[in-house]
Structure 1
Amino acid sequence: IADDKARHGPGPVIHLGDLVDRGPDSRGVIDFLLAGIAAGQDWVVLKGNHDRMFGRFLRNPTEQEPGLRADLGWLHPKLGGPDTLQSYGVANAADRPVAKVHADARLAVPQAHLEFLAACPTLRLAGDCAFVHAGIRPGIALQDQSETDLVWIREPFLSEATSHGPLIVHGHTAIEAATHYGNRLNLDSGAAYGGPLSAVVIEGREAALLTPEGRRRLPGR
């Protein structure tokens, strides 16, 4: 991104969410974003479902996350909650009583981090695009979309081939490589599972993937 800015000039950067649970240093990710914003970076940070689960657990560890299977909780190892808490110094979260983990987490997680995540928007309109974490519910106006859909939805959004109006730029559903489908652009190339982290430049409805060699246009389907 820095190289592209040096070549082509500055522009806003929109982060599509899931700042936590998806790597070994969730705290470091939030610290990085807060420091950049404080330094004047033109960044917009959207909320993902994992960011919402993190905040919900800190508020009330027994409250079930809408969109999550009833038999799962944020501390389940497959969801990444224990890894996030480990980055704050809260160890063995999956193997201890929830009440104790919650108490330790309340002491360890800075209030500034919780306020930042709570304030992250779930939808941002810019140019010909609507940026969200997961997608939208087809047939529902953007202003009427539920937060749960914006951070959790897969179907029927992924199967919808008709125009949504703006190009929907999203992540959440991992695929092999960033792909432009014509009505939506999925940037989740599986970084949480060992794949690359994808960043694109968008001009109108056209997108170019940022690579070490420069911009590579993503053809629309």
Structure 2
Amino acid sequence: MLRSYAIGDVHGHLQKLRAAHALIASDRALTGDDQAPVVHLGDLVDRGPNSRGVLDFLDQGRVEGQPWVLLRGNHDRFMQYFLRPGCKPEPRRPDLDWLSPNVGGRETLASYGVETGMHPDLAALHDAAVAAVPGGHRDLLECLLPAFRRGEVFFCHAGVRPGRALEDQVEDDLIWIRGEFLDDPRDHGALIVHGHSPVEQVTHYGNRVNLDTGAGYGGPVSAVVIEGREVFVLTENGRVPLGPVG
């Protein structure tokens, strides 16, 4: 039976991310399995105080060859596009500015020592950001995956377009979709494990599992282990089985 670990939205909270990894390490010690992948569901950056530390941690793991899978969230793509030549807007939401107070880009840049109010215009701010963000972090943002399939489980940041084959899903939906996916009770061909839409606790809806427990708003970064289609929340007291609500 395939075993996978997954970690929900991080939003720049390094200590919460480390705590999630510590829970996974404890579970690995019991199973003896040090190769099961750890899938990070995206939204690694923004809102929290240490997006730089989060990307440092994940980039170091990548260099060390850790069995980690890093997915792209909409906030990660905001940062990715901002750092590209021309300071491009997020393609799905060109109306939404990464530097708007509710998005979190200002906090991310501050973690690199870039104060947004200290630059005369957007071009100067972009140049300062590119100079401050290490090349390894920019490479990591470019290499994030839109989704990951393992056995009976399909991992993505936001969800999938109902009625479309999993292999035909497009990134805009995988990192942005909400209502059409969240309100659809149909089986999507695999158990969908996602984040993006905050809930108070990890929740299993039968066809999907939501791991976004609101780290960007003061909540924890949650971790689960999945064996086949069985889901267990990882806690300091070990595994807690997670069944479908209702």
Point out where structure 1 has 5 or more consecutive residues left out of the alignment. Answer: none
Check conservation: 2:194, 2:212, Cα contact below 8 A: yes
Q: Is 1:97 aligned to 2:128, yes or no?
A: no
Letter in 2 for 1:167: L
TM-score (norm 1): 0.94
The reply to whether residue 38 of structure 1 matches residue 70 of structure 2 is no
Contact conserved, 2:166 with 2:189, CA < 8 A, in 1?
Answer: no
Aligned to 2:211, which of 187, 205, 217?
187
1:120-173 CA-partner distances (Å, limit 9, x unpaired): 111100111000000011011122211111011102000000100100000000
Matched, 1:119 2:143: yes
Q: Which amino acid in the other structure matches residue 21 of structure 1?
A: D
> How many equivalent pairs are there?
220
Identify unmatched segments of 5+ residues in structure 2.
1-23
Report 1 or 2 for greater relative contact order, CA contacts < 8 Å, sequence distance ≥ 6. Answer: 2
CA distance in 1, matches of 2:133, 2:234: 33
CA–CA distance in structure 2, aligned partners of residues 35 and 109 of structure 1: 15
Equivalent position SS for 1:125: strand
Give the conservation status (yes or no) of the 8 Å contact 1:75–1:94. Answer: no
After TM superposition, give the deviation of residue 67 of structure 1 in Å: 3.0
Partner of 1:85: 109
What percentage of residue pairs aligned between the two structures are identical? 54
What amino acid is aligned across from residue 184 of structure 1 in structure 2? R
- Partner deviation per Cα, 1:161-187 (whole Å, 9 max, x = no partner): 010010000000001110011100100
CA RMSD of aligned residues (A): 1.6
From 126, 146, 169, the equivalent of 2:193 is 169
Structure-1 separation of matches of 2:182 and 2:28:
32
Q: 2:94 & 2:202 partners in 1: Cα distance?
A: 27
- Answer yes or no: is 1:158 the counterpart of 2:182: yes
Could you tell me how far apart the structure 2 residues matched to 1:38 and 1:67 are? 31
Decide which moves more: 47-56 or 3-12. 3-12
TM-score w.r.t. the length of structure 2 is: 0.85
For 2:172, give the aligned amino acid: T
> Within the alignment, does 1:4 sit opposite 2:35 as a pair?
no
> Does residue 1:27 correspond to 2:19, yes or no?
no
Question: CA 1:62/1:113 → structure 2, altered by over 3 Å: closer, same or farther?
Answer: closer
Counterpart of 1:63 (choices 79, 88, 91) is: 88
Paired position in structure 1 for 2:41: 16
